[in-house]
Structure 1
Amino acid sequence: MTISSIKAVLFDLDGTLIDSEFFYYSNWAPILKEEFGLNITFNDWIKDFAGHTLSANVQMLKERFDIHTDDEFMWQRTRANYAKADMTTIRLMPFVKETLHTLHAKGIRTALVTSSYMSTVNTVLGHHNLLDDFEFFVTREAVQYPKPDPEPYLLATERLALPSNSIMAVEDTLTGFRAATGAGLRCVAVTKHQAEKERLSQAEFLVEDLSQFLDIIV
């Protein structure tokens, strides 16, 4: 792959651009303990929850732990915790600004494809002054079927109006990887978590941080 063959990069948000998984874990774990008596570790979060939508996690709780709750309850409880915890404390992942700067300097278009809502994007990326670094955002409210369904990436590809072989996706979970490759895109998997590395062993490119991603396409 050469730099001339890639015209656009589609980034995932959580765990890829922002270091949000511990934030989500620290807000979900007390709810699961207080409401359902379920204790989870951060490793459990990465293994079972990370990269999935709220609805998928609610379904997983039912199937794996026989915990019967619903999307509305968990939405209200988690959003209340997020508000108290202040999402502006979420840090960027390493090399995010350097990566975006390099891509822009090379004339490569960038957009965001995430299962998070636009309110989260505005809060976190707005805090880091990165909203203008993306041509557009495909967020949860923009699609009927979120990742791992390919719909978010198909929508992004349509908006870019580029051939799929000139677009690279960047994801940190198997859920996102399946969505990107299901849409016919090549995908760089970026993660340091061993559990996720094992799930992503089939990825064509598997790196630990965004500096290594730049080494691949530049």
Structure 2
Amino acid sequence: MNNINAVLFDLDGTLIDSEFFYFSNWAPILAEDYGLDISFDEWIERFAGHTLHHNVQMLNNEYGLKVDEEDMWFATRARYAKADMRTIRLMPHAKEILTQLSDEGKTLALVTSSYQSTVQAVLGEHKLLHFFKFFVTRESVENPKPNPEPYLLAVDKLGIPKDEIVVVEDTSTGCTAAKEAGLYCIAVTKQVVEQKRLTHADQVLNDLAEVKNSLISLN
């Protein structure tokens, strides 16, 4: 790689500790409305990192349910609003890595399958929005991760060579999108089930402190 000039971050599970929040809001809907009980491990293995559309299709095709996507969208948004997404915590070392990279003059951007409203609510609450040059959200693309479109759009917005860009992701879905876009991808997760699916990542690390150190060594 050339010197790193830009870092593209995923949001959920990478910068914010959101997967248990999503699980705790989806699980009651699935149990009460569809009679399906899922564990957090099952959520991580099958649902985390995917869009609502993908998860609804998976529930219908693999679990034999009859879930309407629009109904699930309204049901989950109602629960998110009541639970208050602003209470979602940052992942350990998130603010530190953003601050250091920004101080070093790196361009930072966010590439997420979440909606702009989620980005504004959570990162706004933690006062992190100013670190990012732009946001590629679910509304920005026709084909979300694992399709490479979100990362190809980000590369176009950056206007720099791909070998000056690093992606930080936490799921196989996101890493697939980054690699198919031709980008170097660091995966960061302590979830063993996810680590086993990240053989296509250039690195698999445990937390953002390790990512920060790795980015220093790549320069």
TM-score range, shorter chain: over 0.9
1:80 aligns with 2:78: yes
Q: CA deviation at 1:64?
A: 1.1
Q: Secondary structure at the match of 1:91?
A: coil
Superposition map of 1:18-57 within 5 A: 18-57=16-55
Contact conserved, 2:176 with 2:200, CA < 8 A, in 1? Answer: no
Task: Give the structure 1 partner of residue 68 of structure 2.
Answer: 70
Task: Give the structure 2 partner of residue 215 of structure 1.
Answer: 213
For residues 53 and 68 of structure 1, the distance between their equivalents in structure 2, rounded to whole angstroms, comes to 17
After TM superposition, the runs of 4+ consecutive aligned structure 1 residues lying more than 2 A away are: none
Superposition map of 1:70-109 within 5 A: 70-109=68-107
Task: Give the structure 1 partner of residue 187 of structure 2.
Answer: 189
Percent identical among aligned pairs is: 59
For residues 194 and 206 of structure 1, the distance between their equivalents in structure 2, rounded to whole angstroms, comes to 11
For residues 67 and 109 of structure 2, the distance between their equivalents in structure 1, rounded to whole angstroms, comes to 34
Greater CA drift, 113-122 or 102-111:
102-111
Contact conserved, 2:187 with 2:198, CA < 8 A, in 1? Answer: yes
For residues 71 and 162 of structure 1, the distance between their equivalents in structure 2, rounded to whole angstroms, comes to 38
CA RMSD of aligned residues (A): 0.8
Task: Give the structure 1 partner of residue 149 of structure 2.
Answer: 151
Task: Give the structure 2 partner of residue 161 of structure 1.
Answer: 159
Q: Secondary structure at the match of 1:110?
A: strand
Q: CA deviation at 1:201?
A: 2.6
Gaps in structure 1 of 5+ consecutive residues: none
Q: CA deviation at 1:67?
A: 0.7
For residues 89 and 161 of structure 1, the distance between their equivalents in structure 2, rounded to whole angstroms, comes to 35
Q: CA deviation at 1:106?
A: 1.2
Superposition map of 1:104-123 within 5 A: 104-123=102-121
Q: CA deviation at 1:138?
A: 0.3
What is the aligned residue count? 216
Normalization by structure 1: what TM-score? 0.97
Q: Secondary structure at the match of 2:185?
A: strand
Q: Secondary structure at the match of 1:199?
A: coil
Q: CA deviation at 1:137?
A: 0.3
1:17 to 9, 15, 18: 15
For residues 165 and 131 of structure 1, the distance between their equivalents in structure 2, rounded to whole angstroms, comes to 25
